[in-house]
Amino acid sequence: MADQQKLAGIDKAAILFDILGARLAGQLFPGLNDEEIIAVRQRVPHIKNTPFEQKKTVLEEFYFSFMSKKFASESKEATSKPFAFTDGMSEVQLAYLIRSEPTKTMSILLAQLPLPMQSALLQRLPGDVRTQVIIALGKIKDVPLQAVLEVASELKEKAKQIPPQAEYQEGGGKAMAGLLSTMDAKEQKQFLDYLAQEDPDLAKEVKKHHFTFDNIGLLSDALLRDVFNNLDLDDVALALKGQDQELTDRVLENLPQKKQAMYEPREGPVSRKQVEAAQKKVVEYILQMDADPSNEFSIEEFAEADFIE
Protein backbone atom coordinates (compact mmCIF):
# COMPACT_ATOMS: atom_id res chain seq x y z
CA MET A 1 0.00 0.00 0.00
CA ALA A 2 1.35 3.43 -0.87
CA ASP A 3 2.15 5.84 1.96
CA GLN A 4 -0.66 7.93 3.43
CA GLN A 5 0.06 11.02 1.32
CA LYS A 6 -0.58 9.00 -1.87
CA LEU A 7 -3.76 7.31 -0.67
CA ALA A 8 -6.66 8.08 -2.97
CA GLY A 9 -9.73 9.79 -1.53
CA ILE A 10 -11.78 6.62 -1.94
CA ASP A 11 -9.15 4.67 0.04
CA LYS A 12 -9.32 7.17 2.89
CA ALA A 13 -13.10 6.96 2.87
CA ALA A 14 -12.90 3.16 2.86
CA ILE A 15 -10.56 3.25 5.89
CA LEU A 16 -13.05 5.42 7.77
CA PHE A 17 -15.91 3.09 6.81
CA ASP A 18 -13.83 0.17 8.06
CA ILE A 19 -12.88 1.83 11.37
CA LEU A 20 -16.15 3.60 12.19
CA GLY A 21 -18.61 1.19 10.63
CA ALA A 22 -20.74 1.84 7.56
CA ARG A 23 -23.68 3.35 9.48
CA LEU A 24 -21.71 6.00 11.40
CA ALA A 25 -19.38 6.77 8.53
CA GLY A 26 -22.34 7.19 6.21
CA GLN A 27 -23.80 9.83 8.58
CA LEU A 28 -20.50 11.70 8.52
CA PHE A 29 -20.54 11.82 4.71
CA PRO A 30 -24.08 13.04 3.94
CA GLY A 31 -22.96 14.26 0.51
CA LEU A 32 -22.28 10.75 -0.85
CA ASN A 33 -24.93 9.26 -3.10
CA ASP A 34 -25.84 5.56 -3.12
CA GLU A 35 -23.46 4.69 -5.96
CA GLU A 36 -20.51 6.37 -4.22
CA ILE A 37 -21.28 4.62 -0.93
CA ILE A 38 -21.39 1.26 -2.74
CA ALA A 39 -18.04 2.03 -4.36
CA VAL A 40 -16.48 2.91 -0.99
CA ARG A 41 -17.81 -0.24 0.67
CA GLN A 42 -16.48 -2.36 -2.20
CA ARG A 43 -13.09 -0.76 -1.63
CA VAL A 44 -13.01 -1.72 2.09
CA PRO A 45 -11.59 -5.27 1.55
CA HIS A 46 -8.68 -3.79 -0.42
CA ILE A 47 -7.50 -1.58 2.43
CA LYS A 48 -7.69 -4.23 5.17
CA ASN A 49 -3.90 -4.68 5.13
CA THR A 50 -3.18 -0.96 5.44
CA PRO A 51 -0.68 -0.46 8.32
CA PHE A 52 -2.22 0.67 11.60
CA GLU A 53 -0.23 3.92 11.63
CA GLN A 54 -1.62 4.90 8.23
CA LYS A 55 -5.17 4.18 9.37
CA LYS A 56 -4.57 6.23 12.50
CA THR A 57 -3.25 9.14 10.44
CA VAL A 58 -6.32 9.05 8.18
CA LEU A 59 -8.63 9.03 11.22
CA GLU A 60 -6.78 11.93 12.86
CA GLU A 61 -6.81 13.88 9.61
CA PHE A 62 -10.55 13.46 9.32
CA TYR A 63 -11.14 14.29 13.00
CA PHE A 64 -9.16 17.52 12.92
CA SER A 65 -10.78 18.58 9.66
CA PHE A 66 -14.24 17.88 11.07
CA MET A 67 -13.59 19.71 14.35
CA SER A 68 -11.96 22.67 12.62
CA LYS A 69 -15.09 23.18 10.52
CA LYS A 70 -17.29 22.78 13.59
CA PHE A 71 -15.34 25.28 15.70
CA ALA A 72 -15.07 27.71 12.79
CA SER A 73 -18.84 27.65 12.41
CA GLU A 74 -19.43 28.11 16.16
CA SER A 75 -16.79 30.82 16.41
CA LYS A 76 -18.28 32.74 13.48
CA GLU A 77 -21.74 32.64 15.06
CA ALA A 78 -20.40 33.63 18.51
CA THR A 79 -18.45 36.61 17.22
CA SER A 80 -21.00 37.79 14.66
CA LYS A 81 -24.03 37.62 16.98
CA PRO A 82 -22.74 37.48 20.56
CA PHE A 83 -25.88 39.19 21.90
CA ALA A 84 -28.41 37.13 19.94
CA PHE A 85 -29.80 35.88 23.27
CA THR A 86 -31.42 39.32 23.80
CA ASP A 87 -33.71 38.85 20.79
CA GLY A 88 -37.28 38.81 22.03
CA MET A 89 -36.42 39.97 25.55
CA SER A 90 -38.42 42.91 26.92
CA GLU A 91 -36.98 46.02 28.54
CA VAL A 92 -38.25 44.69 31.89
CA GLN A 93 -36.19 41.52 31.50
CA LEU A 94 -33.14 43.40 30.24
CA ALA A 95 -33.34 45.93 33.08
CA TYR A 96 -33.46 43.09 35.59
CA LEU A 97 -30.56 41.36 33.84
CA ILE A 98 -28.22 44.34 34.19
CA ARG A 99 -29.58 45.77 37.46
CA SER A 100 -26.39 45.02 39.41
CA GLU A 101 -23.88 45.24 36.55
CA PRO A 102 -21.14 47.90 36.23
CA THR A 103 -21.94 50.94 34.11
CA LYS A 104 -19.58 49.77 31.35
CA THR A 105 -21.39 46.41 31.08
CA MET A 106 -24.74 48.20 30.88
CA SER A 107 -23.46 50.42 28.07
CA ILE A 108 -22.04 47.46 26.13
CA LEU A 109 -25.41 45.69 26.22
CA LEU A 110 -27.26 48.91 25.36
CA ALA A 111 -25.08 49.43 22.28
CA GLN A 112 -26.23 46.07 20.86
CA LEU A 113 -29.95 46.91 21.00
CA PRO A 114 -32.20 48.65 18.46
CA LEU A 115 -32.69 52.36 19.16
CA PRO A 116 -36.32 52.04 20.43
CA MET A 117 -35.25 49.33 22.90
CA GLN A 118 -32.28 51.45 24.01
CA SER A 119 -34.66 54.28 24.84
CA ALA A 120 -37.12 51.99 26.67
CA LEU A 121 -34.34 50.37 28.68
CA LEU A 122 -32.76 53.70 29.62
CA GLN A 123 -36.08 54.87 31.02
CA ARG A 124 -36.02 51.96 33.47
CA LEU A 125 -32.62 52.90 34.87
CA PRO A 126 -32.23 55.33 37.82
CA GLY A 127 -31.50 58.90 36.70
CA ASP A 128 -27.88 59.02 37.89
CA VAL A 129 -27.12 55.59 36.43
CA ARG A 130 -28.78 56.56 33.16
CA THR A 131 -26.44 59.52 32.77
CA GLN A 132 -23.35 57.41 33.44
CA VAL A 133 -24.48 54.74 30.98
CA ILE A 134 -25.06 57.30 28.21
CA ILE A 135 -21.56 58.72 28.77
CA ALA A 136 -20.04 55.21 28.77
CA LEU A 137 -21.97 54.43 25.59
CA GLY A 138 -19.93 57.06 23.77
CA LYS A 139 -16.71 55.26 24.72
CA ILE A 140 -17.72 51.77 23.55
CA LYS A 141 -15.30 51.94 20.62
CA ASP A 142 -12.42 51.89 23.12
CA VAL A 143 -13.53 48.54 24.59
CA PRO A 144 -11.55 45.54 23.19
CA LEU A 145 -13.56 42.96 21.24
CA GLN A 146 -12.55 40.21 23.68
CA ALA A 147 -14.05 42.19 26.57
CA VAL A 148 -17.31 42.61 24.64
CA LEU A 149 -17.45 38.85 23.97
CA GLU A 150 -16.82 38.08 27.64
CA VAL A 151 -19.64 40.42 28.68
CA ALA A 152 -21.95 38.70 26.18
CA SER A 153 -21.03 35.26 27.50
CA GLU A 154 -21.62 36.22 31.14
CA LEU A 155 -24.94 37.96 30.47
CA LYS A 156 -26.12 35.04 28.33
CA GLU A 157 -25.65 32.67 31.29
CA LYS A 158 -27.46 35.04 33.67
CA ALA A 159 -30.31 35.47 31.19
CA LYS A 160 -31.10 31.75 31.47
CA GLN A 161 -32.34 32.38 35.03
CA ILE A 162 -34.92 34.97 33.97
CA PRO A 163 -38.49 33.76 33.31
CA PRO A 164 -39.38 34.02 29.61
CA GLN A 165 -41.40 36.94 28.29
CA ALA A 166 -44.45 34.72 27.83
CA GLU A 167 -44.74 34.47 31.61
CA TYR A 168 -44.99 38.26 31.92
CA GLN A 169 -48.31 38.37 30.13
CA GLU A 170 -51.68 38.63 31.80
CA GLY A 171 -52.66 35.36 33.47
CA GLY A 172 -49.06 34.13 33.60
CA GLY A 173 -48.68 34.57 37.35
CA LYS A 174 -49.01 30.89 38.18
CA ALA A 175 -46.51 29.75 35.56
CA MET A 176 -44.14 32.50 36.62
CA ALA A 177 -44.44 31.47 40.27
CA GLY A 178 -43.51 27.94 39.25
CA LEU A 179 -40.34 29.22 37.59
CA LEU A 180 -39.48 31.31 40.64
CA SER A 181 -39.66 28.20 42.82
CA THR A 182 -36.66 26.81 40.92
CA MET A 183 -34.48 29.76 41.96
CA ASP A 184 -32.69 30.01 45.28
CA ALA A 185 -34.33 32.03 48.06
CA LYS A 186 -32.17 35.12 47.58
CA GLU A 187 -32.79 35.27 43.83
CA GLN A 188 -36.54 34.81 44.35
CA LYS A 189 -36.69 37.75 46.75
CA GLN A 190 -34.61 39.99 44.49
CA PHE A 191 -36.81 39.24 41.49
CA LEU A 192 -40.08 39.74 43.38
CA ASP A 193 -38.83 43.02 44.89
CA TYR A 194 -37.82 44.20 41.43
CA LEU A 195 -41.13 43.11 39.92
CA ALA A 196 -43.05 44.91 42.68
CA GLN A 197 -41.40 48.17 41.61
CA GLU A 198 -41.71 47.61 37.87
CA ASP A 199 -45.17 46.02 37.67
CA PRO A 200 -47.07 45.95 40.99
CA ASP A 201 -50.15 44.31 39.46
CA LEU A 202 -48.14 41.45 38.03
CA ALA A 203 -46.22 41.07 41.30
CA LYS A 204 -49.54 40.77 43.12
CA GLU A 205 -50.71 38.13 40.64
CA VAL A 206 -47.49 36.13 41.07
CA LYS A 207 -47.74 36.22 44.86
CA LYS A 208 -51.16 34.56 44.65
CA HIS A 209 -49.39 31.43 43.45
CA HIS A 210 -46.02 31.82 45.15
CA PHE A 211 -45.24 30.21 48.48
CA THR A 212 -42.02 30.64 50.44
CA PHE A 213 -40.73 29.20 53.68
CA ASP A 214 -41.35 32.59 55.30
CA ASN A 215 -45.09 31.81 55.06
CA ILE A 216 -44.80 28.58 57.08
CA GLY A 217 -45.75 30.21 60.37
CA LEU A 218 -49.15 31.20 58.92
CA LEU A 219 -50.16 27.60 58.20
CA SER A 220 -52.66 25.90 60.47
CA ASP A 221 -51.55 23.24 62.95
CA ALA A 222 -53.18 20.59 60.76
CA LEU A 223 -51.12 21.65 57.73
CA LEU A 224 -47.93 21.90 59.77
CA ARG A 225 -48.55 18.37 61.01
CA ASP A 226 -49.13 17.07 57.49
CA VAL A 227 -46.10 18.81 55.97
CA PHE A 228 -43.40 18.21 58.58
CA ASN A 229 -44.50 14.68 59.42
CA ASN A 230 -43.62 13.76 55.83
CA LEU A 231 -40.02 14.95 56.14
CA ASP A 232 -36.98 13.26 57.63
CA LEU A 233 -36.12 14.61 61.06
CA ASP A 234 -32.72 15.74 59.77
CA ASP A 235 -34.47 17.90 57.16
CA VAL A 236 -36.88 19.23 59.81
CA ALA A 237 -33.96 20.24 62.02
CA LEU A 238 -32.15 21.91 59.11
CA ALA A 239 -35.26 23.73 57.90
CA LEU A 240 -35.88 25.14 61.39
CA LYS A 241 -32.27 26.25 61.87
CA GLY A 242 -32.29 29.97 62.68
CA GLN A 243 -36.10 30.22 62.91
CA ASP A 244 -38.00 31.77 65.81
CA GLN A 245 -38.45 29.49 68.80
CA GLU A 246 -42.22 29.97 68.52
CA LEU A 247 -42.28 28.39 65.06
CA THR A 248 -39.96 25.59 66.13
CA ASP A 249 -42.19 24.81 69.13
CA ARG A 250 -45.32 24.77 66.95
CA VAL A 251 -43.76 22.40 64.43
CA LEU A 252 -42.51 20.02 67.15
CA GLU A 253 -45.85 20.05 68.96
CA ASN A 254 -47.50 18.86 65.77
CA LEU A 255 -45.13 15.93 65.26
CA PRO A 256 -45.98 12.46 66.64
CA GLN A 257 -44.61 11.91 70.16
CA LYS A 258 -42.11 9.35 68.89
CA LYS A 259 -40.63 11.88 66.45
CA GLN A 260 -40.64 14.58 69.12
CA ALA A 261 -38.54 12.34 71.34
CA MET A 262 -36.11 11.58 68.50
CA TYR A 263 -35.78 15.19 67.31
CA GLU A 264 -32.40 16.85 67.80
CA PRO A 265 -31.85 20.49 66.81
CA ARG A 266 -28.83 21.33 64.63
CA GLU A 267 -26.27 22.94 66.89
CA GLY A 268 -23.44 25.17 65.72
CA PRO A 269 -22.99 26.89 62.36
CA VAL A 270 -24.67 25.29 59.33
CA SER A 271 -24.19 26.41 55.74
CA ARG A 272 -27.00 28.51 54.29
CA LYS A 273 -27.07 26.17 51.30
CA GLN A 274 -27.98 23.19 53.50
CA VAL A 275 -30.67 25.11 55.36
CA GLU A 276 -32.25 26.46 52.17
CA ALA A 277 -32.18 23.01 50.58
CA ALA A 278 -34.18 21.60 53.53
CA GLN A 279 -36.59 24.54 53.45
CA LYS A 280 -37.07 23.98 49.72
CA LYS A 281 -38.24 20.42 50.47
CA VAL A 282 -40.91 21.88 52.75
CA VAL A 283 -42.05 24.30 50.04
CA GLU A 284 -42.01 21.57 47.37
CA TYR A 285 -44.30 19.41 49.50
CA ILE A 286 -46.73 22.33 49.84
CA LEU A 287 -46.60 22.90 46.06
CA GLN A 288 -47.51 19.24 45.59
CA MET A 289 -50.49 19.71 47.91
CA ASP A 290 -51.59 22.74 45.90
CA ALA A 291 -51.33 20.78 42.63
CA ASP A 292 -53.42 17.88 43.96
CA PRO A 293 -57.09 18.60 43.11
CA SER A 294 -58.23 16.21 45.85
CA ASN A 295 -56.46 18.36 48.45
CA GLU A 296 -58.37 21.21 50.07
CA PHE A 297 -55.26 23.38 50.43
CA SER A 298 -54.82 26.13 47.81
CA ILE A 299 -51.89 28.54 47.72
CA GLU A 300 -54.09 31.14 45.98
CA GLU A 301 -56.73 30.97 48.73
CA PHE A 302 -53.97 31.04 51.33
CA ALA A 303 -52.43 34.14 49.72
CA GLU A 304 -55.76 35.96 49.68
CA ALA A 305 -56.61 35.08 53.28
CA ASP A 306 -56.69 37.93 55.78
CA PHE A 307 -54.37 36.97 58.63
CA ILE A 308 -54.30 38.73 61.98
CA GLU A 309 -51.20 38.17 64.13
pTM recorded for the entire structure: 0.42
Domain 213-304 falls in which CATH fold? Annexin V; domain 1 (1.10.220)
Among residues of the chain, what percentage have pLDDT more than 90? Answer: 3
Distances (CA, A) of 31 to 27, 43, 70, 84: 9, 18, 17, 31
Q: How many residues does the chain have?
A: 309
What is the tens place of the pLDDT at every residue in 222-280? Answer: 888 888 888 889 999 999 898 889 989 999 998 898 888 898 888 888 888 899 889 88
Domain 165-207: state its class.
mainly alpha
Q: Where in the chain is the domain with CATH 1.20.5?
A: 165-207
- Per-residue pLDDT, 83: 86
| Three-state DSSP class for residue 132 | helix
- Per-residue pLDDT, 167: 46
- Per-residue pLDDT, 41: 78
Interacting residues of 31 by C-beta distance below 8 A, sequence separation 6+: none
What is the tens place of the pLDDT at every residue in 109-134? Answer: 888 888 788 888 888 888 778 878 87
**Cβ atoms 122, 145 nearer than 8 A:** no
Report the alpha-carbon angle 271-276-279, nearest 5: 135
Angle between helices 115-123 and 103-111 in degrees, nearest 10: 150
Rounded Cα–Cα distance for residues 207 and 148 (Å): 37
Interacting residues of 14 by C-beta distance below 8 A, sequence separation 6+: 40, 41, 43, 44, 46, 47
CA-closest candidate to residue 155, choices 51, 207, 83: 83
- Per-residue pLDDT, 87: 85
**DSSP tag of 263:** -
**Cβ atoms 92, 198 nearer than 8 A:** yes
- Per-residue pLDDT, 67: 47
Q: Where in the chain is the domain with CATH 1.10.220.30?
A: 213-304
